[in-house]
Amino acid sequence: MAVLSIKENVFSVGAEHWDRKLFDEIIPLPDGTSYNSFLIKGKSKTALIDTVDPSCQHILIENLKKLEIKNIDYIISNHAEQDHSGAIPEILKIYPNSKVVTNSKCKEFLKDLLLIPEEKFLTINENDTLSLGDKNLKFIFTPWVHWPETMVTYLVEDKILFTCDFFGSHIAKSELWANDEKIVYEAAKRYYAEIMMPFRNNIKNNIEKILKLDIEIIAPSHGFIYKNPDFIINAYKDWISDNVSNNVVMLYVSMHGSVKRIVEYLTDFLIEKGINVLPFNLTVADIGEIAISLVDSATVVIVSPTFLTGAHPLVYFAVNLFNALRPKTKFISIISSYSWGSNIINSITEIVKNLKAEIIDTILIKGYPKESDIQLLKNLAEKIFQKHNALNLF
Ligand code: FEO
């Protein structure tokens, strides 16, 4: 991205990765991503907050040249993952007097992951401050968003909180500020769902911590920057709350049409009951869309054909993802379609039993759904209705 000014002597110097389509070799990036990096010119010292992915380090270096930066005193590393830290070795080559400022956990990761030598570090403790002359940086530890070493940096005089992944979104952008709230909300929710959802409780604690600060701007290291911090903080408060919506997420694969018919029957029965249905054919579904749907849906129904003796491999993949993302799902139902034998119910129950959800019904259907099976699906829809009703979701 071009060099953009955020406040006096505070600049955005990061990079947009417009054509990146995958993160961690699994997460789809329909809108690319960005690696925000920020340069703060104090009266006596200069600090760089986070760097960029190594694939984009030439952009960061160009931006620093544009600003005619001859010296960087401090490279603040809020998080050791390489999309923010990966350019540190190159920056250290260009600015050899720089110190990498971070907490002790992050330091150990950076030494392991990027082979940065011990003498390059300045290790800080929680709530330490670092003076740049007329500007001061304060460090607040926010562990497990989404690694154990994550922290945020507060620029005291300008009231800017640099949050790295926290409140971020995977989107390449032409404008820095979060002006279009619809686009911003969708991108931030997708990011929360894919990256942050398993750490709901940690996020709760960390939000309480940062709310003690007087924040005017939240500047994450992915996506848009927030002039209205309440917008993203309130969205997070909603996502991490225990509140669920009157939604049923249906995860399915159909090999020869029986499962498809089961899904069609159940979808109609649920809609007739006033329940929103989000069906995902796992052969074509975007896993990011599934993750977003899991953020606040009350119920998940898994429907699989029998593949050998177990579930279809794509169903196992989705169920393992569901388990790993640890959403606040309240109810789960498992439906298996088979011809001569199936262990689907047991094998899927085994995977999801760590989730704090109630398994409300399991249904085994032999071949194409018949009248008696259709009645079972109708009963399941009624049971889901009763459960949602008991939670006042209507
Ligand atoms: Fe954007 Fe956890 O790195």
Residue nearest to ligand 1 atom 1, measured at CA: 165
- CATH code, domain carrying 363: 3.40.50.360
- Measure 233 CA to ligand 1 centroid, in angstroms: 19
β-bridge mates for residue 179, sequence order: none
Residue-averaged pLDDT of the chain: 97
Last residue of a domain, one of 177, 206, 240: 240
Clarify whether residues 364 and 304 are in a common domain: yes
- Measure 129 CA to ligand 1 centroid, in angstroms: 24
CB 322 within 8 A of CB 287: no
Clarify whether residues 384 and 261 are in a common domain: yes
Q: What pTM value is reported for the model?
A: 0.95
Which ligand 1 atom is at minimum distance from the Cα of 195?
Answer: 2
> Which pLDDT belongs to residue 210?
96
Q: Are strands 74-76 and 99-102 parallel, antiparallel or unpaired?
A: parallel
Clarify whether residues 204 and 68 are in a common domain: yes
> Which pLDDT belongs to residue 353?
87
β-bridge mates for residue 304, sequence order: 336
- CATH code, domain carrying 42: 3.60.15.10
Clarify whether residues 236 and 253 are in a common domain: no
> Which pLDDT belongs to residue 32?
96
Which ligand 1 atom is at minimum distance from the Cα of 146?
Answer: 2
Ligand 1 neighbours, Cβ below 6 Å, are 79, 81, 83-84, 146, 165, 222
Residue 42: both structure tokens together: 């104090």
Residue 316: both structure tokens together: 């196992």
300/351 Cα distance (integer angstroms): 14
- Measure 364 CA to ligand 1 centroid, in angstroms: 42
Clarify whether residues 267 and 211 are in a common domain: no
Residue 331 resides in a domain:
yes
- Residues 11-27, mean pLDDT to the nearest whole number: 95
How would you write the chain as a 3-class SS string? CCCEEEECCEEECCEEECCCCEECCCEECCCCEEECCEEEECCCCEEEECCCCHHHHHHHHHHHHHCCCCCCCEEECCCCCHHHHCCHHHHHHHCCCCEEEECHHHHHHHHHHHCCCHHHEEECCCCCEEECCCCEEEEEECCCCCCCCCEEEEECCCCEEEEECCCCCCCCCCCCECCCHHHHHHHHHHHHHHHHHHHHHHHHHHHHHHCCCCCCEEEECCCCEECCHHHHHHHHHHHHCCCCEEEEEEEECCCCCHHHHHHHHHHHHHHHCCCEEEEEECCCCCHHHHHHHHCCEEEEEEEEEEECCEECHHHHHHHHHHHHHCCCCCEEEEEEEECCCCCHHHHHHHHHCCCCCEEEEEEEEECCCCHHHHHHHHHHHHHHHHHHHHCCCC
Clarify whether residues 127 and 203 are in a common domain: yes
- CB atoms near residue 348 (< 10 Å): 25
Residue 335 resides in a domain:
yes
Q: Which amino acid is at 177?
A: W
Among 130-134, 251-255, 338-342, which stretch is predicted with the lowest mean pLDDT?
338-342
Report the candidate in 154, 188, 158, 159 with the shortest Cα–Cα distance to residue 171. 188
Distances (CA, A) of 301 to 26, 289, 331, 339: 23, 16, 8, 21
Confidence of residue 342 (pLDDT cuts 50, 70, 90): confident
> Which pLDDT belongs to residue 17?
97
* pLDDT tens-digit map of 157-198: 999 999 999 999 999 999 999 999 999 999 999 999 999 999
Clarify whether residues 17 and 90 are in a common domain: yes
> Which pLDDT belongs to residue 156?
98
Clarify whether residues 266 and 365 are in a common domain: yes
Clarify whether residues 349 and 330 are in a common domain: yes
Residue 394 resides in a domain:
no
Residue 393 resides in a domain:
no
Peptide bond before 146: cis, by omega within 30 degrees of 0?
yes
Residue 173 resides in a domain:
yes
> Which pLDDT belongs to residue 65?
97
383/392 Cα distance (integer angstroms): 14
- Measure 165 CA to ligand 1 centroid, in angstroms: 5
42/99 Cα distance (integer angstroms): 16
Clarify whether residues 224 and 272 are in a common domain: no
* pLDDT tens-digit map of 197-250: 999 999 999 999 999 999 999 999 999 999 999 999 999 999 999 999 999 999
Looking at per-residue confidence, does 248 or 338 come out higher? 248
Ramachandran quadrant class, 9 (left: phi over 0; alpha: psi -120 to 50; beta: rest): left
Residue nearest to ligand 1 atom 3, measured at CA: 81
Q: Which amino acid is at 334?
A: I
Residue 51 resides in a domain:
yes
Clarify whether residues 220 and 272 are in a common domain: no
For residue 261, give its domain range. 249-388
Residue 12 resides in a domain:
yes
Whether 1 has a pLDDT exceeding 80, the answer reads no
Last residue of a domain, one of 184, 217, 240: 240
* pLDDT tens-digit map of 249-265: 999 999 999 999 999 99
Clarify whether residues 196 and 301 are in a common domain: no
Residue 77 resides in a domain:
yes
> Which pLDDT belongs to residue 314?
98
Last residue of a domain, one of 218, 240, 262: 240
Whether 327 has a pLDDT exceeding 80, the answer reads yes
Whether 341 has a pLDDT exceeding 90, the answer reads no
332/353 Cα distance (integer angstroms): 10
Confidence of residue 119 (pLDDT cuts 50, 70, 90): very high
Which ligand 1 atom is at minimum distance from the Cα of 168?
Answer: 1
Which ligand 1 atom is at minimum distance from the Cα of 221?
Answer: 1
Total number of domains in the chain: 2
- Residues 43-64, mean pLDDT to the nearest whole number: 98
- CB atoms near residue 272 (< 10 Å): 11
